Amino acid sequence: MANFYGVELSSPLMLGTSQYPSPAILTDAFRNSNASVATVSVRREAGFEKAGNSFWKLIQELGVRVLPNTAGCYSVREAITTAQMARELFDTSWVKLEVIGHPDTLQPDPFGLVEAAKLLNQEGFDVFPYMTEDLILAERLLEAGCEVLMPWGSPIGTGLGLNNLYGLRSLRAHFPDVPLVIDAGLGLPSQAAQALEMGYDAVLLNTAVARAGDPVKMAVAFARAIEAGQLAYKADPMEPRDMAAPSTPVLGKAFLR
Amino acid sequence: MSLVFQVIGAGVAGLSVASELSQRGAPVRLYDRNGPPGPHACSWWAGGMLAPFCEGESAEEPVMRWGQLAADWWESMGASVKRNGSLVLALGRDQRELDRFSRRTHNHHWLNDNDLLTLEPELGGRFTRALYFPDEAHLDPRQALGALTQTLREQNVEIITSEGHFTQHAIDCRGLTAQDQLSDLRGVKGEMLVLRCPELTFNRPIRLLHPRIPIYLVPRGEGVYMLGATMLESNDRRRATVRSVLELLSSAYALHPAFGEAEIIEIGVDARPAFPDNLPRLRIRNGILFVNGLYRHGFLLAPTLARMTADYLLEKKIPEFLDAN
């Protein structure tokens, strides 16, 4: 299992904590899927006088690592302020950095992302940047001090799965030693399995589980798919080929007609 | 001397419990540190939808079952209940949200653009289909709270402006304030607006689905509409943010552009009291009975909770959700 800023995670499943029908169902989803990381969006207004405390207490009681995020931030400054607040609230140097570039697609703003990552790394944060699958952006983020990369599968909340397989494969091939997490866009367990089969180290998802008719069942389904994908990757899959290759030798077989 | 029940808190929970007890002939005193219902109470800001089937989209099964009893109870207590059903809509690119909603809920049927034109003419031409829940109702929360206050007054129960006495026969209905005794109670912040838009006539609550910013509009009569509501994991009861108000208003404007000319009468904010499963319950701690956790279902579930409380206290019937640990 990959190393995330000195931490070995017990499972490659990271779950978001918003949009569940109730905190009780959220807790069950975590318990039953053995997810190892909980991401929490920190709205600055909820930090005011610690008004969000009862919910955050509930997240901390899950007993998993908390990864606060800067969801909904459109500028470097907003993202930095939110990250600083999150560090204080959750007593962790981990932060999932989101700098959003467009309200419709919620796609990352790569330029703001690199700038914010640089500043946060200088301040001693362990930054998990939410990014597009662009190779050069990846290089810039690593130069900025990031040790983990989180490319999107497809836009947040769409459930479209891995949109650019070529890009994601080449990212994996270029950075064999950097922990890579597919963040956002997953809708089905099979898509998560595919990410792990390709050698990705973890997946992060929220809507696919929280908005399923039965979030607990869906969390378990993802956990199993991820386990299958991870096993398959470790087992070194066969290479696909164009010609049929019978598994029983034809040589010496009697011609029946 | 027979015992007197001391109900503490005159929001929708406390008023309903006191009314039900008093109606059944039990002596009641009702306390609230802020006096009669007003802006200090979470229920003051409620939507007043009695929509058990729509709520079934995300709520647990008891909400649907208990909620069906609400409309009759409120009517029996003198509240004016409108039984016009409710409508659920989605804008063009969010149509799948509507399919999802229809799969997760019961007691509804589809309307096409013609049906919609008959039911809510103002929406004609703007939406090609909708979900209609004919068995749902709505009320005006402030009128309903007033009706309970009035019914109690007629039975010589006045709301006493005081913290109340947490004695043996106390029933604690203080909502989120009871966090000082109930550590698993949390606030879910909601922001809402009241708009006046005389150009538009809607006869029933309308929900507009959206993956991030779902809204509902509840008609209060004479062109006045309640527009709600945000749901944020926060105990904050005071600050309505620009973002929330902007999101609510944009969605209302998307529902019908006439809202662009509407007058903003009120911007309201409070936090709903909720337990981790978002279901209400009766709980006994240190000899005090707590009735709490109504979450976003105050007017929908208070009648059932009030009945359960009275059944338990007067007839020793163990209610479905009693936590006597």
pLDDT by residue (tens digit) across B207-249?
999 988 899 999 999 999 999 999 998 988 989 999 999 999 9
Q: How far is CA A166 from CA A191, A213, A241, B273, in A?
A: 15, 32, 18, 49
Amino acid at B290: F
What structural domains does chain B harbor? Answer: 5-73+139-183+276-323 (3.50.50.60), 86-134+186-274 (3.30.9.10)
| A198-257 per-position pLDDT tens digit | 999 999 999 999 999 999 999 999 999 999 999 999 999 988 888 887 776 666 666 665
pLDDT value of residue A251: 67
User: What is the rounded CA–CA span in Å between residue A211 and residue A208?
Assistant: 6
Residue A225 three-state SS: helix
- On chain A, the residues whose CB falls within 8 A of the CB of B176 are none
Q: How far apart are CA B91 and CA B210, in angstroms?
A: 8
Chain A window 76-135: which residues touch B at a Cβ cutoff of 8 Å? none
What is d(CA B9, CA B298) in angstroms, rounded to the nearest whole number?
14
Nearest neighbour of A55 by CB, restricted to B186, B212, B277: B186
Q: Kindly list the strands in the beta sheet with B28-32, ordered across the sheet, starting from the edge strand earlier in the chain.
A: B159-161, B28-32, B5-8, B170-172, B288-292, B281-285, B322-323
The pLDDT of residue B31 is above 90: yes
Contact state of B187 with A22 under an 8 Å Cβ cutoff: no
For chain A, what is the mean pLDDT?
91
Digit-coded pLDDT (tens) for A1-51:
788 999 999 999 999 999 999 999 999 999 999 999 999 988 766 666 677
Other CB atoms closer than 10 Å to residue B190's CB: what's the count?
Answer: 24
Q: State the catalytic residues of A.
A: 96
Write the ipTM: 0.84
Please tell me which of the candidates B104, B187, B234 has its beta carbon nearest to residue A213.
B104
To which residue do tokens 């920190």 refer? Answer: A42
Read off the pLDDT band of B1 (50, 70, 90): very low
Which of B177, B184, B233 should one mutate to test binding to chain A, selecting the residue with the greatest count of A CBs within 10 A?
B233
Written as one letter, the residue type at A135 is L
The model's pTM is 0.88
**Widest pairwise Cα distance in chain A:** 86
Given a cut of 50, whether residue B115 has pLDDT beyond it is yes
How many Cβ contacts (< 8 angstroms) between chains A and B?
57
- Give per-residue pLDDT as tens, A175-184: 999 999 999 9
For A61, A86, A91, B295, the CA distances from A54, given in Å and listed in that order, are: 11, 15, 16, 14
| CA B65/CA B45 separation, integer angstroms | 24
Beta bridge partners of B268: B192
Do the beta carbons of residue A126 and residue A147 sit within 8 Å?
Answer: yes
Confidence of residue B164 (pLDDT cuts 50, 70, 90): confident
Separation between Cα atoms, residue B234 and residue A245, nearest integer Å: 61
